[in-house]
Amino acid sequence: MESRFKVSPRLRLVLLVFVFGTVLWEPNIVLAEQSGDGAIEGMAELCSVDLRAFLPPPYGTLENTVCRPVWNTHLLRYSQTNDHVVTIVLSAIYTTGWVGIGFSKDGMMINSSAMVGWIGEGGHARIKQYYVGGFNSSEIIQDKGELPLTSVPPYVGTQGATIYLAFQLKFAARLKTQPILLAFSSRLPRYHHHSHRHLLTHHDDKTTILFDFSKGTIGSFAMSKDSGSAGRIRRTHGILSMLGWGLILPYGAIVARYLRHRDPLWFYLHTVIQFMGFIIAVAAVVVGVSLYGTLNAHFPAHRGIGIFALVLSILQVLAFFLRPSKDSKNRRYWNWYHHWVGRIALFFGAVNIVLGIHAGEAGNGWKITYGFLLGIALVLCSALEALAMLRRSETSANHPAFQMDPVESSVQKL
């Protein structure tokens, strides 16, 4: 009996990879989005450009102006008066398309208000305020938003290869720390003749920074957005989802597929791992429901797929308790159902992790972490599949198709 439970080198490899992935898995969500600090420092010299030569007043004649490189080729100039009037001039290298700067309460693109400027066909300059109600173009509404613009008309224009967006805001109190969204696209907005509005094309790139208008400093929004209550819930939901659906449940399925020759050890391992992953996945859903209500978010695809994957996982648990005996004629149908429902649940769980990273506008740390987990699982499956094929071929070679009749063999021995 003891030889049946002897751990083989292949099993030790699987357990080592599982423990290794569990210990090292820690998403680095506080990574700064702004790489290339040397390039940003090189942009600082452009702050000496004299704006009076091409910007109309009051944008070209600002006093006590603060100028800071904020992202890529983007420079942010601003001035704040004692009566809380903030004048902003955003500049960036420009060829075509649009450039935008948005203000958000929580740093998310959804429910933010943005000023977007571009130079259209024929050299017509346009700057509009947009309210971002969703990810689709139809949900980004022109001439709407919550920015408290003053009576001074906004301005957009180019000087050389640089575009300048200028506008003025009047706040009830002094503007201090504020999440700022920066984005650009190389494609011009599409003019919709029926509504007489310009629909924004999808951005080529975007970022979110935490800008302190009282000090002129830039902070990491990735660190800030996870420091509050909603941020902690978001972080917990992401960790539980990735741990359950991205690590534990896939490895439980790997054990069931590639360690069946270690019966009944594979069954106990598979059962324990999957139940542990199921509990974590349920906890992730509970935290996600709380997060959904806290943020008043609207991500129907992420929410719907999450519920669907949860239902499939519950069916798997019920099927475990209702499984027929090995001798039952219905066992083959139960096996077919159990295998394919599990695979479908894991597939949609993986898809939903990607959707969640996108919807939450998570940093590169989350993407790298899940990419690492997914890559390890795929490499491990490939290696174990190759070993399984090799083992089957060896077994087939050791059992010839034509064997000696045992009766005849016993006669020869006599």
Query: 253-284: per-residue pLDDT in tens?
Result: 999 888 888 888 999 999 999 999 999 999 99
In this predicted model, which residue has the larger pLDDT, 242 or 364? Answer: 242
* Of 76, 86, 27, 108, residue with least CA distance to 369: 27
50 sits in the region (left: phi over 0; alpha: psi -120 to 50; else beta) called beta
Convert the pLDDT of each residue in 352-399 to its tens digit: 999 888 877 677 788 888 999 889 989 998 898 888 888 777 776 666
Helices (H), 124-264: 221-225, 229-243, 249-258
- Rounded to an integer, the average pLDDT of 316-331 is 89
Q: What is the pTM of this model?
A: 0.53
Task: Please give the pLDDT value at position 400.
Answer: 58
Convert the pLDDT of each residue in 81-94 to its tens digit: 888 999 999 999 99
Distance CA 99, CA 71 (A): 12
Q: Which two tokens stand for residue 272?
A: 């324990």
pLDDT grade, residue 150 (50/70/90)?
very high
pLDDT grade, residue 346 (50/70/90)?
very high
pLDDT grade, residue 209 (50/70/90)?
confident
Is the pLDDT assigned to residue 33 strictly greater than 70?
no
Which residues fall within 8 angstroms of residue 236, CB to CB, at 6 or more apart?
287
Using DSSP's 3-state secondary structure scheme, residue 141 falls into strand
- Rounded to an integer, the average pLDDT of 124-151 is 86
- Rounded to an integer, the average pLDDT of 176-185 is 90
Task: Please give the pLDDT value at position 398.
Answer: 64
| Separation of CA 278 from chain center | 22
* Of 129, 117, 106, 98, residue with least CA distance to 202: 98
Is the pLDDT assigned to residue 214 strictly greater than 80?
yes
- Rounded to an integer, the average pLDDT of 189-210 is 84
Distance CA 253, CA 343 (A): 8
Instruction: Quote the percentage of the chain above a pLDDT of 70.
Output: 79
Paired residues of 113 in beta bridges? 103, 131
- Rounded to an integer, the average pLDDT of 204-225 is 73
Task: Please give the pLDDT value at position 153.
Answer: 94
Task: Please give the pLDDT value at position 298.
Answer: 66
Which residues fall within 8 angstroms of residue 134, CB to CB, at 6 or more apart?
110, 140, 298
